[in-house]
Chain A
């Protein structure tokens, strides 16, 4: 309903500002939709906290067993890593499920193509809105737990703005990458295989369970060959201050590069999917 009204607006005054406004509204819509699910948000926080505490137990024990320091992580740094990564849990898509996958499957994507909105951008923007909202009831309280427990704060003030930027890039990259899974539905009869694969590897390769620096070298290389570390590991590194200025800027660059690449692939797949639909007769 919201989108129908917006479409009319855009076609009436096709200007760049109008387009920007459209996307801003989409962002807000994704944002607002989540606010109705307050209990779900509270539940999300409980989930974050529970897993966080369990991870603390295991990872602290590991660090201590390794003599108090492991691949640059001491107990304090590990604490920071755990609580920031848990806080981001609601904002990064590790399940591989998307709304666009459903729409491609049941065919209502055909209607989306008729609107003067770029399907890929619209979907990603809505997802990002939803993810940004989740930071409030889930992200911030979770990080607060870490603060209370005593995680180490970053030692340079630049970490905050850079960290925020990295966080945003990570969120957008996650939405853009999982979009690719959704549009596979144009060619695959059953999306489930791709989605499950995504679900299984995304968390691991993003460094959700164990920080990537702890991986053996070949696994580390394999991880960096994917966009997943850029979704979560890098923002955590920048926010926690583990990365110095040069390291932070480097990570931001990598995130941006992945975003461009994934975005381009997504755009190509969307166009191809649209052609596919037209050929099949929708």
Chain B
């Protein structure tokens, strides 16, 4: 039997939203005959699958070193792109380099953690092509929950480690008024960021119902979103602010919390108290993602009668 304690942290992140989606509707539809199941029992199948997947991945320990090194290198190069710009200027979007580190760190860490638990959702395209999605219908669980909890990519924790290093550097190099408020803000920002990126992955999966080979299109927004989240939104033009500020609220992952944390003034359209509104942005993102998912499923089933 799989122990939840033994599962990787990514599993906890993955199970929670999945279970939230799964538990409530399941309870509403009505329990199966003879199964007055509590929440723990309801979560058990998800835990078992995740644990099995996690176990099968921990055997590849040799590759983890390679993943760690390449993740660090990738993080260094990405950071290097911004750093190169700072050879020529001192402020970008009103922020200095050590302040950008915070934006970058928060966004990168949030993305990588979401990637561990949700990054595999684009496999849906493969299932659709092979017709194996039908198998999901035969199990008494919500489709999305099955997709999300069906796998976990521990390998990507290496990338999360890189993001964590950058975040730590940012926290160390900046003059932050440490206290309950700032720690709370950071935690809230990180959690919201993870939720937002998770929603982005779910949205990208839902889009596969409509696109054939549509991975490039959705990647544009998933990886474009990530890129946007590492930038100071103050440099954006109006359309970009609308797109990545509010429609796909990437600015709420790293930039706005950083402004709030450092007590910096906000640019047009972005008052700094928005730094606390990460959860709202995450709710919005998840609402869009779930609506899109349902639309996609209905399209797949030819629903509506």
Contact = CB atoms under 8 A, between A and B. Distances in A.
Given A62-B89, A214-B84, A54 B228 contact: yes
Interface string A192-215: 110011001100100001100011
A17 to B, nearest CB: 37
Interface string B225-262: 00110010011110110001000000000000000000
A66 interface: yes
From B80, B211, B235, residue with most partner A Cβ within 10 Å = B235
A65 B74 CA distance: 27
Contact of B89 (A47, A65, A201): A65
Contacts of B237: 53, 56-57
Interface stretch (A34-42, A159-167, A247-255): A34-42
Interface string B5-26: 0000000000000000000000
Interface residues of B, dominant DSSP: helix
A246 B87 CA distance: 29
A209 B240 CA distance: 18
B240 A214 contact: no
Interface in B61-99: 63, 66, 70, 73-74, 77, 80-81, 84-85, 87-93
Interface residues of B, number: 40
A49 B220 CA distance: 9
Nearest to A204: B77
B59 to A, nearest CB: 15
8 contacts: A47-B220, A53-B239, A61-B234, A62-B88, A62-B89, A193-B70, A200-B77, A210-B84
Interface of B: 63, 66, 70, 73-74, 77, 80-81, 84-85, 87-93, 211-221, 223-224, 227-228, 231, 234-237, 239-240, 244
Interface of A: 37, 39-40, 42-44, 46-47, 49-51, 53-54, 56-62, 65-66, 70-71, 190, 192-193, 196-197, 200-201, 204, 209-210, 214-216, 219
